[in-house]
Structure 1
Amino acid sequence: MTASAQPSPLPKSNASASLLANILANTYVDHLPLNRQEMRYARRGVHLPRATLCEWKLAAAELLEVLLPPLRAHQLQAPRMHVDDTTLPLLEKGRTATRTARLWGYLGAGQREENGVWVDHPPAVVFEFAESRSGSHPLRYLQKYKGYLQADAYSGHGALYETGDIVEVGCWAHCRRRFFEIAKAQSKPGLAAQALQWIASLYAIESRIRDQTPDLKYAARQIDALPVLAQFRQWLEGNVIGLPAQAPLAKAFGYALRHWPALVR
């Protein structure tokens, strides 16, 4: 007797579920492009052309699409959301050159208090492809979301906060990056290096309370971080005077001061 082969999730294909899972894991977890996967399988004596791997990857993604609605529904119930985008080269049929597209990443996570106990919301990440960086993409995705949103200061995010259902939370990493790039290029420490010291003191507080519950974090921030923030704000306002408006340092100061309410939220 011959054992029956396990049916493939894909019609008219001999690709097993475990093989498809392996291709997806190689691609999206281990970041292996299909040409390297093709070589890896060849070393094991398996002939799998990258064109076949590509077809299987796309077909497997279409099968997994059924998971998107419940994943999004779970994600949009998170107390806080994070969003950012990155560039992506797009090569279209009939074109010889790539153009720049976007990949938007959304992370839902956080903790909420239930009956006096802090409960974790299991984090969930969704990536969405878009052909542009238009603010209409996050606005459509987050149209029913209510909670805190941490994002960069991209002007396209402005419409997200108009109803008040989404509360803007600034990102200190984006603020710090502007001072860091200036300080890195200077031979002698200046105002940018001093700004980094202020931000480092805030980071030290966050590092110390990282594993605490939200109520203890809040208390520590009120006691320890608020005085630092108040002094830092005073320092920024005092030292921005006289800086050339178009200088990178003036823009770094301006970024921090313009987005201060979101940064201290």
Structure 2
Amino acid sequence: MAAPASPSSDDPETLKALLAEERAENERLRQIILAMQRHRFGRRAESLPEDQLLLGLEEAEQVEAAGFADEENEPAKQEARRAKRRTNRGALPAHLPRVECLVDIDSTACPCCSGALHRIGESVSERLDVVPAQFRVLVIRRPRYACRACGDAVVQAPAPARLIEGGLPTDALIAQVLVSKYADHLPLYRQAQIFARQGVSLDRSTLADWVGRAAFLLRPVHARLLETLKHSGKLFADETTAPVLDPGRGRTKTGQLWAYARDDRPWGGSDPPGVAYVYAPDRTAGRPIAHLCGFAGVLQVDGYAAYESLAKGGAVRLAYCWSHVRRQFYDLAAASPIATEALSRIAALYRIEADIRGRPAEERRAARQERSRPVVEALEPWLREKLDPLSRKSNLAEAIRYALSRWQG
């Protein structure tokens, strides 16, 4: 039997199909280019870049403050500015120690009649002060005692325990190095430079050894934190890549840093907030299964398929994240009215959440049923309607499928 003839290149229907496919491919490539341009030249954050805004405000306030040097001869303006500062500043924390300084007159003789002045009151003001960090040497003396009667007994108090046996640092210094490195993002070589300015010569490798030993001793605390979080009714999980040194290859390899967090403060929860980070060399499904062994409850996640393995037993319910759904459309909004409309509909949900944040759980649930549910129920058929005419290869179709495939969660 002869094979059917292939469609002629001048067949109108074939040409229309080829043209539609070509347009879809061109649109997909254009979206890729726009995404790359945004990644290369645009801001990364999807929300207001608060850090950059604060930097701009700092500079503006510094320029403004520099201009007030001309007010020294204008008491009215100075008093108005002091009143504004008092309004914005508020009270200094009560737990801070107070060091009183008496500023008194030179003579208690009346400047008019030379009679004796008597005290009728006082003015009290508070200023925030700081004692710059300084190093000191903790000298530990342990006297030894011997018995003159027998000559054999020698008694001495045991040496205090140290985090690093035979090492120089106290527990407080090691804690300072850890907080500076991990909370304040101050690399060890910069800390070594700070020490050197006060004449303390410490090599970066020495500081690295302290950090490694402290991390080993903190392992039980980390394990206890993760175990406590797993007893929560709901958790948030996410992972991100982390470059890891790969000795011998002259480059880094890609590891994964998993975060498991709980924070119910914005919703009036009583459980204390916490987050535990777990490193893994890969991103396989077995990692979160091992990390969350024993957890039962709601797990809020992104669209990574590895989390679905946790839900197979029924003990874990997955709750997907609107932020990740929104991100799919955010990347396309510059060139797609459909993506812009999707962002607008999702923004309505965010506004409702902003209104009810901090209210009791039942009140929030009632508000969501009344206000959020209609928005969500209208969004699903709208997405399906917009998906039908789109090419399956387009990024917009992929974004819509991402949302619809996780709709129940």
* Distance in structure 2 (CA, Å) of the matches to 1:83 and 1:35: 33
Match of 1:56 in 2: 210
1:92-116 Cα offsets, whole Å, 9 max, x none, are: 33231111111111113448xxxxx
Is 2:382 the partner of 1:238? no
Q: CA offset at residue 3 of structure 1?
A: 5.0
**Structure 1, residues 32-73: CA drift from partner, whole Å, max 9, x if none?**
222222222223332221101110001011111121332122
- 1:103 partner SS: strand
The partner residue of 1:138 within 275, 279, 288 is: 288
Equivalent residues in 2 for 1:53-132 (5 A)? 53-110=207-264, 120-132=270-282
Measure the CA separation in 1 of the matches of 2:338 and 2:269: 42
For the residue of structure 1 that corresponds to 2:333, the secondary structure is helix
Give the 3-state SS of the residue equivalent to 1:144 in structure 2: coil
Asked whether the equivalents of residues 8 and 14 of structure 1 are also in contact (C-alpha less than 8 Å), the reply is no
Secondary structure (helix, strand or coil) at the match of 1:251 reads: helix
Write the mapping of 1:218-257 to structure 2, written as runs, cut at 5 A. 218-257=365-404
The corresponding residue for 1:196 is 343
Query: Aligned with 1:91: secondary structure?
Result: strand
Instruction: Report the Cα distance in structure 1 between the residues aligned to 2:381 and 2:192, rounded to whole angstroms.
Output: 59
CA contact (8 A) 2:257 2:279 kept: yes
Superposition TM-score, scaled by structure 1 size: 0.90
Return the offset for 1:198. Answer: 0.4
Which structure has more strand as a fraction of its residues? Answer: 1
Deviations 1:119-144 (A, max 9, x none): 51112211111100111110011121
Contact 1:78 1:110 in 2 (8 A): no
Contact 1:84 1:105 in 2 (8 A): yes
Structure number with greater Rg is: 2
Q: Which residue of 1 aligns with 2:364?
A: 217
* Contact map agreement 2:308 2:318 (CA 8 A) in 1: no
1:260 and 2:407 aligned: yes
SS in 2 for 1:183: coil
Structure 1 residue aligned with 2:132: none
2:172 is aligned to 18
Aligned match of 1:180: 330
Letter of the structure 2 residue corresponding to residue 181 of structure 1: D
Check if 1:161 corresponds to 2:314: no
Deviations 1:64-89 (A, max 9, x none): 11213321221111111111111111
2:236–2:262: 8 Å Cα contact kept in structure 1?
Answer: yes
Equivalent position of 1:114 in the other structure: none
Classify 1:166/1:109 alpha carbon distance in 2 versus 1 (closer, same or farther; 3 Å).
farther
Per-residue Cα deviation, 1:159-182 (whole angstroms, up to 9, x for no partner): 100011000001011000010011
- Is 2:236–2:261's contact at 8 Å kept on the other side of the alignment? yes
Please state how far the C-alpha of 1:242 moved relative to its aligned partner. Answer: 1.0
Q: Equivalent residue for 1:170?
A: 320
Q: CA deviation at 1:7?
A: 5.3
Q: How many residues align?
A: 252
Q: Which runs of 5+ in 1 are unaligned?
A: 112-117
Separation in structure 1 between the aligned mates of residue 348 and residue 246 of structure 2, nearest angstrom: 48
How far did residue 253 of structure 1 move?
A: 0.6
Say what the alpha-carbon RMSD is for the aligned residues.
1.7
Note the C-alpha offset of 1:14. Answer: 1.0
* Range with greater deviation from structure 2 (63-72 or 246-255): 63-72
User: Quick check: 1:101–1:132 contact (8 Å CA) kept in 2?
Assistant: yes
Equivalent in the alignment of 2:301: 151
Measure the CA separation in 1 of the matches of 2:279 and 2:350: 33
Corresponding residue of 2:56: none
Distance across 1 between alignment mates of 2:208 and 2:193: 14
> Which residue is equivalent to 2:200?
46
2:352 to 184, 205, 210: 205
Q: Which residue number corresponds to residue 155 of structure 2?
A: none
| Structure 2 Cα separation of the partners of residues 3 and 167 of structure 1 | 57
